[in-house]
Each structure stands twice: as structure tokens, then as C-alpha cells.
Structure 1
Amino acid sequence: MKRRQQSTILQDHIHTYASIYVFVSILFLMGVLFGAFMVNNLSLVQKEDLFTYLTQFFGDMTEGNIASSQELFQQSFFHNNKFLGIMWLLGISIIGLPILFILLFLKGVVVGFSVGFLVNQMKWNGFLLSFVSVLPQNLLIIPLFIFVTVMATSFSLMLIRTIFIKQRTSQPIGPWIVRYLGVLVLAVVVITCSSGIEAYVSPYLMKIVLLTSP
């Protein structure tokens, strides 16, 4: 019974915000593709400099000369919370809606560039490294970014209709605010999980790939 209710709630949510989900998902994918194309536009010197830095980092990782898992967790937790917190606040500001879309696009650029550069420089090993270093935490982070962007956009549009167009909403603004605060709480919980994966799981998988790769 509970599963049916949860399924119905999820279906209703997706149906209600389907158009916004399509828009932000396409925007994010455009960012990923743009980031991947950026790799091909780098000069040879830029690629060599980045690859030298990357090789040094991988060397330090295999020797255990990197930040502790606790430090990595804190860095990831605060960075992602700060980024998503800004996106959440932009939904309240109304005028920050375009910036919200830019931030989501940039997140896609970072993911696309990271994967694209690893594959471009290290071929199959680069694909494996991107699979274990970029994918695990982003399985949570990317859907979260899209979800927060959708909810921030819908909240901002609701404020625009209420304040500027003077359109009566189907329900008072109070429940909207409570729901929007719930989005922030959910984001912190998911970020905690993704930061744990990034700090404790991804480095271990990366070390295995680096030690076993030819």
C-alpha cells in the first residue's frame, strides 16, 4: 500500500513538473556536451599541463599522499552544500532564475569536461577512472541538482504569479514555503550520502584501477 502511494506521489510530481524537468535536463545535457567539446579545443600545451597535474595526483593517491577521507568528506560536503544553497536561494530571489540555469549548465560542463579529458588522455583507463571517480557520487548529485533546479524554478514562477501577476494560487503560499524548505533538508541529506561516497568509496576504487592498470 505504501509503495503504491509513493509511486502515485512520484508520478504526480513528475506529471506536474514534466515540462520543467525536460527543460532543465536538456540544459544539463547541453552543459555535459559543451564540457566534452571543450577538451578538443584545448591546446597541446594546456592538455600537457593538465595531464601532468593529473598524473602527479594519481601518483600521490597510489602512495597514500592525499588528504584524509575525513578532509575529503568535509570539502565535498561544504562545496556541494554551498553550491546547492545558492541555487535554492536563487529560487526565492525571483530575479536569480537565469543564474540558476547558468549554474546547472556549468555543473554539466564540469562533469562533461572531467570525463572527456580522462577518456581523451588515457583512453580505456581514463574511462575506467571516470567510471569509478566521477560516476558514483554523481548518481546522487546529478538527479539532486536537477530536482533542486526544478523546485526552485517552480517556486520562483509561483512567486512571480502571486506578486506580479496577482494570480491566485490554488493553495496558500505557506505550504509552498514549507515544501521548499523540505527540499533544502532533503538536499543536505543526499549531499551527506554523496560526500561519503566521494570521500570513502571513490578513492578506494580509483586506487584499485590505478594499481591494476598497465
Structure 2
Amino acid sequence: MRIHPLKSAVAIHLREHASLYVFVIVLFLMGVIFGAIVVNSLGFSQKQDLYYYLTQFFGQVSKDNLASAHDMFRQSYMHNIKYTALMWVLGISVIGLPIIFVLLFLKGVVVGFTVGFLVNQMSWKGFLLSFVSVMPQNLIVIPLMIVMGVISISFSLYMVRNQFMKRPHEPVFPMVMRYAAVMVAIAAGLLVSSAVEAYLSPVLMKQAVKWVIDFIIIII
């Protein structure tokens, strides 16, 4: 049975960088846990202020007063592409290697804090809202950022070995071209995640907010 060259290349990449993927995923999960813990360390007044802004936002969602889907798409894509492009540049710079770890950790913190705060303040309703507002786009964004992080770290380590170890090594230019190709592929994937965030998530949020409001009315 013939194996597709792309699948073969992906399998080789995963096998060669398995330990790095495990490390990066654990680092990200530590960020998620830390973000959830930070929620519990907030003071009462801080939680109340955040909850007030949160209810204001969901009120706008229920009234369909959100920004246009086009604007949301553009803002989401620019934010994500800048974040991944920063990791790409840090990988080339070599000295930025530790910052890549920080960026991956912070991404986990943001996700953990967002979900943790919603659940902390709204119980199962918060879990439902986080499921429809945070998860859809992050199911695409997080794997892409993890892949970008691993490849950036791997490229940076390769550059270090290339500079300081006296042994035969692969020419740098082809490596840089492959590294750039990965960034292009990641950028294309982020288009999909931004489309989900701009066009699908608001619809799901609006429906979820409606369910939550209806549930509260029934209880009252």
C-alpha cells in the first residue's frame, strides 16, 4: 500500500519531535490550570466588575448588537496571525527561544482564565457559554499554535546546533524555506479559525444566551 508523501512527512515529523510535542502540550495545559487558579485568587470586587462586563456583553449578544462578522473576522485573524508570526520570528532569532515557551504558556492562561471565570460565576451555564464561545475556534487555533511553537523551537535548536557544533549539517536556506512554508500553512489554517469565530460562534452564543435566559425565567 502506497503512503502519501504528505502523510509520510507528517508521520516522520511527529515521530522525530514527539518529546517536544509532549513538553509543549504539558506547558500549555499548565497555563490552562494556572489561568483557572488565578480566577479563584481574584477579590470579590474584581469578580463583580468582570461579571458586570460579562453580563453587558451577553446582553449585547442577545440583542444582536455585536460588531459585524467582517470586522470580527479581521480582528480575530490579525490577532492570531501576529501571535503565531511572533513565534516564527523568535524561532529564527534563536535568542527568542525562551519567549516562545512564555507565549504558549500565556495562551493556556488566557483559555484557562476565560473558561474558569465563566464556570466560577455561572456554574453549568458558564460551561455551556464557554463551550460555544471559546471552544469552536480554539479547537483549530490551539493545535496550530502548538505546531507553530514546536516547529519554531525545533528550528531555533537546529540553528544553535548549526552554529556551535562542528559536524556535517543540512544547508540553512532549504530549512528556512520549509520553515516559511509552515508559516504560510499555519496562516491559511488561521483563516478557518477566524471564520469560525466570526460567523459560527456568535450564532452559537446567541442561542446559548437565549437558553440561559429562558432557563432563568422558568426558575423565577
Pairwise same-fold verdict (TM > 0.5): yes
- Alignment of 1:177 with 2:176, yes or no, is yes
- Could you report, residue by residue, the CA deviation over 1:104-142 in whole angstroms, capped at 9, with x for unpaired residues? 000000000000000111111111111111110011100
In the alignment, the residues of structure 2 paired with residue 202 and residue 45 of structure 1 have an alpha-carbon distance, to the nearest angstrom, of 29
Moved beyond 4 Å, runs of 4+: 1-6
Partner residue, 2:86: 86
2:122 maps to a residue whose letter is M
CA distance in structure 2 between the partners assigned to 1:110 and 1:128 by the alignment: 18
Where does residue 189 of structure 1 map in the other structure?
188
Identity over the aligned pairs, expressed in percent? 53
Distance 2:108 2:89 in 1: 20
Question: Which letter maps to 2:211?
Answer: T
Distance in 1 of aligned mates of 2:129 and 2:202: 10
Cα deviation, residue 71, structure 1: 0.6
Offset from partner CA, 1:19-44 (integer Å, 9 cap, x none): 11111111101000000111110101
8 Å Cα contact 1:128-1:209 kept in structure 2: yes
Which whole-Å CA distance do the structure 1 matches of 2:118 and 2:175 have between them? 42
Query: Counterparts of 1:57 and 1:164 in 2: how far apart (Å)?
Result: 53
Counting matched residue pairs gives 213
Determine helix, strand or coil for the equivalent of 2:208: helix
Q: 3-state SS of the aligned residue for 2:102?
A: helix
Q: Is the 8 A contact 1:161 1:167 kept in 2?
A: no
CA RMSD of aligned residues (A): 1.3
Q: Which residue of 2 aligns with 1:55?
A: 55
Letter in 1 for 2:59: G
1:99 counterpart residue number: 99
Alignment correspondent of 1:16: 16
The code of the aligned residue for 2:23 comes to F
Q: Which residue of the partner structure matches residue 31 of structure 1?
A: 31
- The CA distance in 2 between the partners of 1:102 and 1:91, in whole Å, is 13
Q: What is the TM-score with the length of structure 1 in the denominator?
A: 0.96
| Amino acid aligned to 1:165 | M
The 2-side partners of 1:17 and 1:10 are apart by: 11
Deviation at 1:7, TM superposition (A): 3.8
2:153 aligned residue: 153
Q: Which runs of 5+ in 1 are unaligned?
A: none
Check 1:3–1:66 CA distance in 2 against 1; reply closer, same or farther (3 A cut): farther
TM-aligned CA deviation for residue 173 of structure 1: 1.8
Q: Deviations over 1:157-176 (max 9, x none)?
A: 1110111223322x322221
- For residues 47-101 of structure 1, give each alpha carbon's deviation from its aligned partner in whole angstroms, at most 9, with x where no partner exists: 0000000000000111111211111001001011111111110000000000110
Does structure 2 retain, via aligned residues, the 8 Å contact 1:36–1:113? yes
Structure 1 CA distance, aligned partners of 2:35 and 2:208?
24
Distance 2:9 2:177 in 1: 17
Give 1:5 deviation, angstroms.
4.5
1:19 to 1:122, Cα distance in 2 relative to 1, 3 A: same
Mapped to 1, the partners of 2:151 and 2:203 lie a distance apart of: 34
Q: Contact conserved, 1:133 with 1:203, CA < 8 A, in 2?
A: yes
Unmatched runs of 5 consecutive residues or more in structure 2: 216-220
